[in-house]
Amino acid sequence: MSVNTNVESVIQLAEHADESLQPKTDRDRKVGPLSYVFMWIGDGVNLGNMTLGASLIVAGTATLNIFQTFAAAIIAIGIISTIFALNDRLGYRTGIPYVVQLRMSFGLKGSVIPSLCRGIPAIVWYGFQSWIGGTALNEIMKIITGGSFDNVAICFVVLQIVQIVLSLYGFHAIKWVETVVSVVIGLALIYVFVVLLTSYSNVIVEKWVHTEGSWGLPFFAFIMMFMGNYAAIFLSAADYSRELKPGISNTKRGFLYFLPIFAAYGLTLTIGAMLASATGVANPVKAFAIVVDNSYITFFVSTFIILGSIGVNMVANIVPPTYVIQLLTKLKYKPAVAITGLLALCSFPWVLVQDSSSKGLGIFILIYSAFLGPIVSILLVEYYILRRQKVNVSDLYKEDGPFAGYNPAAILAMFIGAGAAFIEVDLAWIIGFVVAGIAYFLLMKFAFKDSKFKKGTIFEVEDQDISPKNSEYNGSSPKVVLAPVMKVC
């Protein structure tokens, strides 16, 4: 179903917003299904996911064995893909970005808080991926200079400057890089996988395969950690789906997430755990250099690690916080994206991963998951239960419209969910998700009786006995909607 006509009419109402925050029309969507798949393969085949796999090995001992690791990963990927396909629907059908989608539940002013909850982790991930890429660049410089140059900090800064320049042109500027990098890094990882099996199988079997592990709390904690690694991304699913060409069914889009994430995530997690088991080093770049004792291969792999870090940042870690900065400062895209890059320089990513352990990365993921689980739950309850997939998109852009101000029910539900999540941080995402969803429904139903955010929801229908089949809120009084209302079937 084409939404081009409706979107164009909404854009006329959103002219005060920067072009990058306006709805995408059909003709503006340039990403096809195959490119979309490679985009997520390129995002999944990265050193961040490999480091997460390495976090299974702490001080030479695995907290989960190989069977528990695969079981946790499959469960997490299944949940990730499902939520991705559910939360991407509004952005795909209407072309609006995540920061505008938030207004539906939180209001124009209230959306600032959940926007920051998405933007801050993305900036830290941006810095972390750049640090990993800087480590790889340092390995290359050591090879070129014969060991006379060895300064990761300088390489980190240089790589960050390159990414800031590239990001000025948007992630479409390196779409071809994503495709090439995903294939080449995939082949490189398969090569490393074979080397590990042939040369380090005994130590890997001893430290990972045959370890007792646990099917208790550590197992479920790693499911949450695996999910948390993608929690920020599927929360802002609209930022990606709005770039995808129209005409793709909900089921097919679900597979466009599941298949590449399953292949890429599974491979990188496995190799990360194997590298840490074999070498005792949690930083994958340094572990690579130990396992692949060949300067030419190290040079080749390190080059594509750098490109992979850039690709992941362009897809997942630059656009969302840039939109947040635009929302807060009213800046244009290019200065906002430059500020994002500078903030990533100050994220101290080296604190998250030490040579002996990458446990800090796991703790970081679990903490921010306590907030992201509640936010995505509120969005899904709002869209699927309260509004039955009917949203007057033009109202989302009206500064004095029905979504002006903030929705206290959404703010309270988010903090209630996050507070519950911190009771057991190892299960933060799922606890926050469930508690916040229930709290939001109950608060919308029973609290804040005069809240304008009930307009257009099932609770307005209950109060005024208006048939949802024939009526929708248009920003003043309940009547038949003439403004563009986007409904996803």
pLDDT digits (tens, 9 = 90+) for 470-481: 333 333 333 333
Residue-level pLDDT at 480: 32
Number of domains in the chain: 1
Position 459 in a domain: no
Reported as a pLDDT band with limits 50, 70 and 90, residue 242 is: very high
pLDDT on residue 385: 96
Position 408 in a domain:
no
CA-based nearest residue to 397, from 92, 17, 7:
17
pLDDT above 50 (res 342): yes
Looking at per-residue pLDDT, the higher value among 51 and 469 belongs to 51
Counting every residue, how long is the chain? 489
- Is residue 17 pLDDT above 50, yes or no? yes
- Residue 211: which domain range? 30-373
Instruction: Tell me what the mean pLDDT of segment 129-135 comes to.
Output: 88
What is the C-alpha separation between 443 and 91, in angstroms, rounded? 26
152 occurs within a structural domain: yes
State the Cα–Cα distance between residues 325 and 332, nearest whole angstrom: 9
Please report whether residue 9 resides in a domain.
no
Supply the pLDDT for residue 171: 53
Residue 346: pLDDT band by 50, 70, 90 thresholds?
confident
Is 287 a member of any domain?
Answer: yes
Question: Using 50, 70 and 90 to split pLDDT, how confident is the model at 306?
Answer: confident
Inside any domain, residue 109 = yes
Nearest to 269 by CA among 316, 310, 229: 229
Q: Is residue 412 in some structural domain?
A: no
Q: Check which CATH number belongs to the domain holding 134 and give it.
A: 1.10.4160.10
Residue 19 has pLDDT above 50, yes or no: yes
Q: Residue 244: is its pLDDT beyond 60?
A: yes
Assigned token pair, 174: 């390196």
Asked whether residue 238 is assigned to any structural domain, the reply reads yes
Q: Over the stretch 174-198, which tens digit does the pLDDT of each residue have?
A: 556 666 666 777 777 788 888 888 8
Distance in angstroms (rounded) separating the CA atoms of residues 287 and 203: 15
pLDDT at 170: 60
Assign 7 a pLDDT band (cuts: 50, 70, 90).
low
Average pLDDT over residues 425-429: 86
Q: Taking residues 150-170, what's their average pLDDT?
A: 88
Q: Is the pTM of this model over 0.85?
A: no
Query: How much is the pLDDT for 476?
Result: 36
What number of other Cβ atoms are within 10 A of residue 120's Cβ? 17
Of residues 304 and 124, more confidently modeled: 124
Q: What is the pLDDT of residue 466?
A: 40
DSSP per position, 244-292: BPS---HHHHHHHHHHHHHHHHHHHHHHHHHHHHHHS---HHHHHHHHS
